Chain A
Amino acid sequence: MAGVKPRNNRDSSRPKLIAVTVLMGLAWATLWVRAGYLQLVEGERLASMASRQHLAAEFEGGKRGRILDRNGRALAISVESQSVYARPLQVEDAARAAAKLSSILDLPARKIRHLLSSRTNFVWIERQVGDKVAARIKDAGLEGVYLTTEYSRFYPNKHLAGQLIGFVGLDGVGLEGVERRFEDRLKGRKAQFVAQRDASGRKLYLDAQGREMNLDGKDVTLTIDARIQASCEDALERTLREHGGRAATALVVDVPSGEILAWVDYPFFNPNTYRRSSPSRWRDRAALDAFEPGSTMKPFLYAAAVQEGVTDDSKLIDCEGGVYKINGQPIRDTHPRRWLSARNALRYSSNIGMAKIGMELGAPIFHRYLTDLGFGRRPALSLPGLGQGLLRPAAKWNQIDLAAASFGQGVGVTAVQMAQAYLCLGNFGVRKPLRVVHDPARVPEEDENGRRIYSEDVVRQVLGVMFEVVEREDGTGHEAYIPGLHIAGKTGTAQKASASGGYGDDHIASFAALIPAEKPELLVLAEVDSPVDKFYGGVVAAPAVKEMTLRTLAYLGRPAPSPGDAALAAGGETAESWRRKAVAAAPNAQSGKDGATPNLTGMQVRRAVEILAKNGIIPLIKGSGPLVARQTPEPGASLPDAKGVTLWLAQGQDRG
């Protein structure tokens, strides 16, 4: 090594370099072979394993959207739960797995064994298990046994608006009501691929293009106000308790917007337990069931006749002393009269008077008015299975049919159709679509929006008569009278057609009210099927409508009577309404627009002062008590400068 001989060394490096080159060549060949082995030999298995992880999406869907009331209260929500399933082909030791699962799930081992030994790719072991059980299954780490997230539907308010909301089946598909109608919007989506994003197992849901998906379904917001709904359900239930009856429906509608605030079907249906219920229970009667309305139809005939110039307020009609025969068929009045002005014929609800007006108007015209009002047609409402009632073509009407239709017999209408028609009166003759779904907003069809059917004057006349129906001591609807409140109402007492033909002893008692009569803001309508002890609409349905009206107004924070009015001084219902208002008004008040005085009445003083303080206002406080009874300026008026607001306090009652 002493003599440096670079040449030799270089030469000694050459064979080594060749050796390394050969070595690298071998490595290169080995890797090529490995690639071939992976892709050609193992390829099929690896590809199927890879696709299996994509298939994880098979059972992973998003959460179903919620159903909310107009204030965002949850009416239907989905709750996450874990379900256990197995891929039997992957289970190595079925006996061991069955024993373990049996002890965790408390199910017979034989049954699980049977499931695990089936030659299928997938079996459910147990659905919707508790968190603890799920954790134990996970810890057990059994081969081929998996957990997946499922959602179960939960209706936190139990039977509240149960028939309207509907329900979903075990597999999560909406079967009735809003759940069914908005299935596509509510349902959770399924991903094409599920990728694990990080070590914590966070998942990423991707569509076929690899874009991330939000799997959760979208919410549906109804126009229903859960609080109004609850109190109306309460009121209707009490009516049924008092008078008996097979079923009942009620609707409360905000007249300017056509939005339905309450939609009551009795008997109630609790969608949480639909499996223990029956189709007759979850049947949405307000939407589906046609009934003969009776006198509540009369205002539409009267208005049509006045509109067409066939009659006017004071035209005298011979009411035949209570019995009038058409082609030998007798028509009777409950309160026999001889001569009545047309106006009074409506007010006293004379069948004979109405029949005569109807015959004078003629079938084609009357029928056209009824069709224009929406009778005999499916209401344009975002719900499944809406009934279209029964309105035969005018050509098939004979004189008797026309006469009967004039006082609301021989035609079938649903409660929703009735509400639709009264809404037209409430809007002074202009048709307005009813709405029960706030979001997604529905695009109204062309013919249903803004079409005028009656002139404003005609409607004012009709509302005037309806006002007397309630206001006057001898009005058929006086039971609905509320001191200080101007209500336009109409009673209906229809005989029910019996199964054997003709009319039986059962009645449908109904009442429709527009409040206030001068410029309706609220439409309240109730209908009771076969009340037992009494059957007049004015006796059975009118008090229910009165009750619902009071509560609704209280919740809306629009107490109709002006301060100092009789209503405030009166006890009874108004004290009750005060208490309710106190509970309810708070959420509404915040919606006061910028620059406008918020509605503070009924609110806790502290809360009211806080709200004002945010606007830089220190109110002047008068009286004592925890609640705000009155305020100046009125809600909605432009907000005055500091110190411009006065609050009068009052003693509230206990909420219990």
Chain B
Amino acid sequence: MRSNVKSTALSRPTDYWLLGLALLFAGLGLVMVLSASGVMAERFYHDKYLFFRKQALYCACGVICMLVAARLPRVFFHRFAYLWLILSVGLLALTLTPLGLSAGGAARWLKLGPVSIQPLEFSKLALVFYLAYFFSQKQGMVKTFSVGFLPPFLVTGGLCLLLLHQPDFGGAVFLAALLFFMCLVGGTRFSYLLLALFVASVGAWRMIVSSPYRFKRLMAFLDPFETARDAGYQLVQSLYAFGSGRIFGAGLGAGKQKLFFLPEAHNDFIMAVLGEELGFVGVSALFIVLGLFLWRAFRIALRQEDLQDRLTAYGAALILTLGFFLNLAVVMGVAPPKGVPMPFVSYGGSSLVASFICVGVLLNLSREAA
């Protein structure tokens, strides 16, 4: 329909809907971070607003990054794909060195002066840039095994291996899912994809079986109440919180589960706090906003005429979508817990800035179809 407009539609305006929805999300995130972390911050740091202030600062950084990404010439994510890839491999590798910051037995952070970053969040973007570049450039040979199939899988596999060493099982799964959905649209043979899926399943299975503890943890979500005291604890607490909200919720700030029952209340499980405090009414409002947001994001991808643009927009939308869905699935007990933050809402600078950059990329591509 718009295939001929290429030359005429010189400048479509920036997608202000997307921009507004993203800012709405970030604002909601600030409120929820304050509510979820206030009591805990007061107790451990004697400063109720500690996490709120930090999150507000990250927000400001994120908005700046978003505006920059929206204005940057596209060569930055089209031509420099390998550069970003090498950079993120380097950062991931650094977390395994003494520069890495360990927390809870996993070295997922890099300490850079006063801030610590989680390279995973940025490697998602790098992977998307690389895959978009790869599929658009190698489109002719994408159906072949050695040229079209092996390189993206090897690259993703390498990143995943680094993540598994941290260890960050959830992060590796996230990247694998990104690869899968990019390949699906990028044109990889369906049979190869099925084969890869099969191999990955077998690998994951072996890894899980080799460590019964991990298996138990992973499967705990199927019946969390069975193991409410250990493996299922987080999930049970999350369900208690989410369910307690019922129709109208306990009211903003009045949730009880965040009072040290729910671990990571301001982080991965912030949606449980939201569910408890705002109830189904609030959750539904969030789902409507989320639906609109995703619609705008995928709409931008669909409107792209250039394959690389399209795949880049699609990938950026995918990062956010998978983040939203995996987080919600974990909080609501339909997927095993694996430490995926809620984009824009969960506390954390890396996730927030990376999410804003995704929106920036989408805004950039929304401006005009090249």
B294 interface residue, CB < 8 Å from A?
yes
Instruction: Check: A610 CB closer than 8 A to any chain B CB.
Output: no
Residues of B within 8 A of A32 (CB): 284, 287
> Chain B residues with Cβ under 8 A from A193's Cβ?
256, 259, 261
Contact at A35–B307, with CB atoms within 8 Å?
no
**A45 near B243 (CB under 8 angstroms)?**
yes
CA distance A211 to B46 in the complex (A): 11
Report the Cα distance A13→B312, complex, angstroms.
13
Closest to A30 in B: B334
A20 near B185 with CB under 8 A, answer yes
- Decide if A210 is an interface residue (CB 8 Å cutoff): yes
* B143 close to A1 (CB less than 8 A): yes
The answer for the CA separation of A210 and B262 in the assembled complex, in Å, is: 13
Tell yes or no: B22 within 8 A of A by CB: no
Tell me the chain B residues, 242-256 only, with Cβ under 8 Å from chain A. Answer: 242-247, 256
Q: Is B316 an interface residue (CB 8 A)?
A: no
Contact flags A16-40 to B (C-beta < 8 A → 1, else 0): 1110110011011001101110111
Contacts of B143 in A (CB 8 A): 1
Closest CB in chain A relative to B311 CB, distance in Å:
8
How would residues 271 to 303 of chain B score, 1 for a CB under 8 Å from any chain A CB and 0 otherwise?
A: 000010001100110010011001000100110
> Knowing A13-B187, A24-B294, A31-B332 touch, does A42 contact B243 (C-beta < 8 A)?
yes
Contact of A43 among B39, B244, B311, B321 (CB under 8 A): B244
Is there a chain A Cβ closer than 8 Å to B179's Cβ? no
Q: Contact at A13–B259, with CB atoms within 8 Å?
A: no
**CA–CA, A42 and B224, complex, Å:** 15
Interface size on A, residues (CB 8 A): 48
- Asked whether A332 is an interface residue with its Cβ less than 8 Å from the other chain, the reply is no
Interface string of A41-66 (1 = CB under 8 A from B): 01111110110011000000000000
The reply on B120 being an interface residue by CB < 8 A is no
Taken together as a complex, chains A and B put the C-alpha atoms of A25 and B324 apart, in Å, by 12
Q: How far is the CB of B322 from chain A (nearest CB, A)?
A: 9
B243/A16 in contact, CB under 8 A = no
Encode contact with A along B224-264: 1 for CB under 8 Å, 0 otherwise.
00000110010000011111111100000000110111000
A204's contact among B242, B260, B307, B334, by CB below 8 Å, is which?
A: B260
**Binary interface profile of A, 562-604, with partner B (CB < 8 Å = 1, else 0)?**
0000000000000000000000000000000000000000000
Binary per-residue interface labels of chain B (22-66) against chain A in the complex, 1 for a CB within 8 Å, 0 otherwise: 000000000000000001001100000000000000000000000
Distance between B216 CB and nearest chain A CB, rounded to angstroms: 14
In the complex, what distance in Å separates the CA atom of A303 from the CA atom of B260? 69
Give the distance in Å from the alpha carbon of A201 to the alpha carbon of B215 in the complex: 22
**Number of interface residues, chain B, beta carbon within 8 A:** 54
B244, B302, B314: the one within 8 Å of A46 (CB): B244
Which of B39, B230, B247 is the one whose CB lies under 8 Å from A210? B39
**A28 and B280 contact, Cβ closer than 8 Å, known pairs A50-B256, A195-B261:** no
Q: B332 contacts A24, CB within 8 Å? A: no
In whole Å, how far is B186's beta carbon from the nearest beta carbon of chain A?
Answer: 7
In the bound assembly, the distance between CA atoms of A16 and B187 in angstroms comes to: 9
In the complex, A298 Cα to B348 Cα: how many Å? Answer: 84
Question: Could you tell me if A46 and B239 are in contact, using CB atoms closer than 8 angstroms?
Answer: yes
Residue A335 at the B interface, CB < 8 A? no
**Cβ–Cβ contact A17 & B43, under 8 A:** no
CB distance from A491 to the nearest CB of B (A): 65
CA distance A653 to B258 in the complex (A): 66
Quick one: closest A residue to B141, CB to CB? Answer: A1
A25 to B181, CA, bound (A): 15
B76 within 8 A of partner (CB): no
Which one of B187, B291, B311 lies within 8 Å of A28 (CB-CB)?
B291
A9 at the interface (CB under 8 A from B): yes
Does A16 contact B244, Cβ atoms closer than 8 Å?
Answer: no
Asked whether any CB of chain B lies closer than 8 Å to the CB of A643, the reply is no
Closest 10 CB pairs of A and B: A46-B243, A195-B260, A50-B240, A43-B246, A210-B39, A47-B244, A39-B280, A210-B259, A4-B140, A21-B298
B: residues with CB less than 8 A from A are 39, 42-43, 139-141, 143, 181, 184-187, 229-230, 233, 239-247, 256-257, 259-261, 275, 279-280, 283-284, 287, 290-291, 294, 298, 301-302, 305-307, 310-311, 314, 321, 325, 328-329, 332-334
25 contacts between A and B (CB under 8 A): A4-B140, A6-B307, A9-B139, A10-B307, A13-B185, A13-B186, A13-B311, A16-B184, A20-B314, A28-B294, A31-B328, A31-B334, A32-B287, A35-B242, A35-B328, A38-B242, A38-B243, A39-B243, A44-B246, A50-B240, A50-B243, A50-B256, A53-B240, A196-B260, A212-B43
